[in-house]
């Protein structure tokens, strides 16, 4: 008999080896298109930031684009784009990544560029100061001068958690950013950007033997350094409701967000997958439980969404993590009515379970999204790197669609029982700017 979801497993081969300096390397050859992707994931994110240096992981990501020992400022971008490629980087709770996607013949160029900044980024006073200004402007545009800019992703964790790692503003305060020094940046690089604290993944049109030779040529000489221990960011589960109110003078209407602690995404993955599907069942699509109840039937809301993980990235995050439901509602609708309806819908799943047909539709959509993301060489390579860094198994990225398809209605019902109204974090947003 064919196992459930076996046709959903990505069967791209994965090769791996580790350099003497500790760098973990994942190769995922796919000769079907003449494209390669190169990505480096560093095991450092917002949750690694010390007190007094909020936003530093993201700030340092910016600094890493300011040149390196053999690559002047702006030359990285020019070299990638001249080859017909694209590049970028991003900062998350538990990692920071950098990547290029290029024609296959430019593979060595990308490896050289990433190795050069892994070895010696240009950490100078000028580069640090101008990137502090860039990040501050980014915060102004994306948070301070945008309706709902901090809601709920920056504000709800402060209600839901207790530790500094989980509660602080990962974008950073202006005071912390402005007081950052070159010594801080040098120490951060030395501590967290060691080869042994990173995963290099290369995917696409590559020859495994030749690629290994190139990786060893460029990354092998990077100096080995001590690797910091992975921080324990888990917290005891709450036993009471935590509730706060924030005001937003730019918001046109009020909103409310609820957050529930969910199972450990790494240590209890099978249970966690039921929670991921519960979030999809509650909010994705016009037929979802909360969309029907809140928006169409009771008209309590103008918009709603539910997701797992700070950025809705459920498969590359560690403990502790939330399932978040956010609802934007008319001013005439009381927040208690909204909360009551949300809790009722979750209680219905917890009490009655989920029809197999409804779950199958959710699973089909979720699995299709994962497979679509893996359709591109870059998307697949990023997924392999994230799975290797967070879960210790790049292959997991290719198995997730099938594992989601194998989740049972009982697992989703158990997940719903875990969303106790008595342990939710609740954040109300009041729109205080008046009519416009």
The secondary structure of residue 246, as a DSSP letter, is E
Residues 76 and 62: their CA atoms lie apart, in Å, by 13
pLDDT tens-digit readout, 322-362? 999 999 999 999 999 999 999 999 999 999 999 999 999 99
Residues 189 and 261: their CA atoms lie apart, in Å, by 32
pLDDT of residue 149: 97
The structure's pTM equals 0.95
Q: Is pLDDT above 50 for 178?
A: yes
pLDDT of residue 371: 86
Q: Is pLDDT above 60 for 35?
A: yes
- Helix (H) or strand (E) holding 323, with range, is strand 322-328
Q: Is pLDDT above 70 for 435?
A: no
pLDDT tens-digit readout, 399-410? 999 999 999 999
Helix, strand, coil % (nearest 5) of the chain?
Answer: 45, 15, 40
CB neighbours (10 Å) of residue 313? 15
Helix intervals (H) in 181-229? 182-192, 208-219
Note whether 110 and 82 are within 8 A (CB): no
Residue with tokens 């390397």: 25
Read off the pLDDT of each residue in 37-61 and give the average, rounded to a whole number.
97
Residue with tokens 């980087």: 89
Contacts (Cβ under 8 Å, ≥6 apart) of 306: 279, 280, 282, 283, 284, 290, 323, 324, 325, 326
pLDDT tens-digit readout, 74-121? 999 999 999 999 999 999 999 999 999 999 999 999 999 999 999 999
Note whether 308 and 276 are within 8 A (CB): yes
Cα separation values, 422 from 27, 102, 158, 234, 300, Å: 46, 51, 18, 20, 22
Read off the pLDDT of each residue in 372-381 and give the average, rounded to a whole number.
91
Note whether 244 and 428 are within 8 A (CB): yes
Residue with tokens 């040529």: 217
Q: Domains, the chain, ranges and CATH?
A: 6-219 (3.30.830.10), 242-431 (3.30.830.10)
Nearest to 110 by CA among 84, 133, 144: 84
CA-CA-CA-CA torsion sign (96, 117, 378, 77): positive
Cα separation values, 268 from 14, 271, 274, 275, 423, Å: 24, 6, 11, 11, 20
Note whether 225 and 385 are within 8 A (CB): no
């Amino acid at each position: 008999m064919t196992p459930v979801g076996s046709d959903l497993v990505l069967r791209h081969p994965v090769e791996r080896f580790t350099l003497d300096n500790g760098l973990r390397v994942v190769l995922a050859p796919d000769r079907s298109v003449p494209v390669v992707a190169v990505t480096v994931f560093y095991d450092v994110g917002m949750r690694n930031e010390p007190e007094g240096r909020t936003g530093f992981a993201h700030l340092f990501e910016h600094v890493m684009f300011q040149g390196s020992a053999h690559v002047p400022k702006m030359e990285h971008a020019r070299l990638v784009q001249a080859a017909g490629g694209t590049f970028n980087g991003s900062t998350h709770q538990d990692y920071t990544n950098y990547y290029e996607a290029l024609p296959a013949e430019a593979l060595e160029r990308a490896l050289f560029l990433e190795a050069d900044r892994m070895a010696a980024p240009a950490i100078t006073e000028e580069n640090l100061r101008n990137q502090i200004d860039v990040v501050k402007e980014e915060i102004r545009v994306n948070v301070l001068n945008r309706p709902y800019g901090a809601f709920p992703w920056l504000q709800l964790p402060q209600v839901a958690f207790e530790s500094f790692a989980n509660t602080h503003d990962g974008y950073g305060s202006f005071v912390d950013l402005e007081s950052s020094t070159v010594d801080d940046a040098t120490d951060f690089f030395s501590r967290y950007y060691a080869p042994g604290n990173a995963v290099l993944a290369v995917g696409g049109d590559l020859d495994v033997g030749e690629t290994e030779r190139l990786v060893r040529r460029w990354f092998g000489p990077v100096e080995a350094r001590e690797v910091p221990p992975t921080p324990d960011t888990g917290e005891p589960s709450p036993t009471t409701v935590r509730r706060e109110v924030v005001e937003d003078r730019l918001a046109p209407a009020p909103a409310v967000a609820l957050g529930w602690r969910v199972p450990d995404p790494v240590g209890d993955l099978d249970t966690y997958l039921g929670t991921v599907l519960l979030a999809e069942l509650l909010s994705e699509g016009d037929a979802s439980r909360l969309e029907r109840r809140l928006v169409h039937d009771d008209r309590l809301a103008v918009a709603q969404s539910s997701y797992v993980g700070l950025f809705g990235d459920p498969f590359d995050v560690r403990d502790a993590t939330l399932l978040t439901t956010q609802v934007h509602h008319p001013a005439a609708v009381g927040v208690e009515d909204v909360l009551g309806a949300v809790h009722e819908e979750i209680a219905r799943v917890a009490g009655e379970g989920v029809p197999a047909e409804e779950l199958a539709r959710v699973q089909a959509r979720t699995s299709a999204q994962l497979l679509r993301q893996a359709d591109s060489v870059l998307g697949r390579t990023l997924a392999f790197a994230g799975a290797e860094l967070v879960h210790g198994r790049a292959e997991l990225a290719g198995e997730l669609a099938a594992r989601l398809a194998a989740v049972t209605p009982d697992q989703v019902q158990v997940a719903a029982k875990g969303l106790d109204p008595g342990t939710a974090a609740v954040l109300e947003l009041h729109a205080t700017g008046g009519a416009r």
